[in-house]
Amino acid sequence: MAARKRLSVRAYLLHLTHYDPMWMRRKARENPFDLAIALEMVQALGEEGFNLLVIDVADAVKYKSHPELAKRYTVPMGHLQKLAGAARKAGLDLRR
């Protein structure tokens, strides 16, 4: 029997906002991204051996170049920067 190969990439996809068709009806009531919970999650991912974090930002952050895209649930770009910094500190590579 051949030895089992361990996966070299252990990734997690984090959506900062929702685009599920069922969610769209409730999107106007969506709460902003919770940075504190995300930072705890990133720490746990690092501890569990994950090595890649894919972040789907969509309309979840405020862009200086396109303020018209902001929704009531968007958060400052600084939230994304803190999340990225924590992910790197936890040993996770980042993709967006």
| Tens digits of residue pLDDT in 21-78 | 676 677 677 777 899 999 999 999 999 999 999 998 888 899 999 989 888 788 899 9
Contact 11, 49 (CB under 8 A): no
| Residue 81 pLDDT greater than 80, yes or no | yes
In a domain, 49, yes or no: yes
CATH of the domain at 86: 3.30.750
Residue 93, strand partner residues = 52
| Domain ranges, residue 51 | 11-95
In a domain, 1, yes or no: no
Helix (H) or strand (E) holding 24: helix 21-24
In a domain, 6, yes or no: no
In degrees, to the nearest 5, what angle opens at C-alpha 59 toward C-alphas 77 and 41?
65
In a domain, 70, yes or no: yes
Domain count, the chain: 1
User: So what's the pLDDT on residue 96?
Assistant: 62
In a domain, 4, yes or no: no
